[in-house]
Structure 1
């Protein structure tokens, strides 16, 4: 697969761990990951945002591994936050998980399906 990060010089520079666009060609697998929620496999929801965010990324990782893929294959991530006050913690935990990987990304502030959930993250991966 050919993967190219696109950050046009005549558009805003990305601020913090993402690319303005990611172009993929000649891929064999394309995985669409539904919104992953902060619920553990034993149906528990952590109380703090930090715990919820780490759980969501573990759930994404589980879906990637089940498909024979890894976080290095992520090309697009959309995060839904229940409150903009979680933005800094979200960025830090996302960066902790992704490291140098910089997929295309969006963050949306919105009401989330269950009021206990402080975030939900969906993703697209390609290999």
Structure 2
């Protein structure tokens, strides 16, 4: 697969470890990951934003592994936050998880399906 992160010079510079666009060529597989919630396999939801975010990233890792991929294959993320106050912590934890991986990204502040959840993240991966 050929991957190119695109950040046009005449558009806002991305801040926070993402790309304005990701161009893919010659990929074999595309995996669409439904919104991953902050619950474990026993449907337990941890307390606090950091614990919930870490659980969501573990769930994304599990889906990627099941598809024979890892976080380096992520090309698009959409994060849904229940409250704007979590934006800074979300950025820090996402950066910690992604490292040098810079997918295209959107963050939306909204009501989330289950009021216990402080976030949900859907992802697209390619290989």
Report the Cα offset of residue 42 of structure 1: 1.1
TM-score (norm 2): 0.99
Q: Give, in whole Å, the separation in 2 of the partners of 1:91 and 1:73.
A: 19
Aligned match of 2:116:
116
* Number of corresponding residues: 127
Partner of 1:67: 67
Aligned-partner Cα distance in 1 for 2:125–2:44: 27
Post-superposition offset of 1:25: 0.5
Q: Which runs of 5+ in 1 are unaligned?
A: none
**For structure 2, which runs of at least 5 residues remain unmatched after alignment?**
none
Supply the distance in 1 between the matched residues of 2:116 and 2:47 (Cα, whole angstroms).
8
State the match for 2:44 in structure 1: 44
**Which residue is equivalent to 2:28?**
28
Distance between the aligned counterparts of 1:5 and 1:101, measured in 2? 10
Q: Find the counterpart in structure 1 of residue 79 from structure 2.
A: 79
Compute the RMSD of aligned alpha carbons.
Answer: 0.3
- Kindly state the Cα deviation for residue 75 of structure 1 after the two structures are TM-superposed: 0.2
Residue of structure 2 in register with 1:12 after alignment: 12
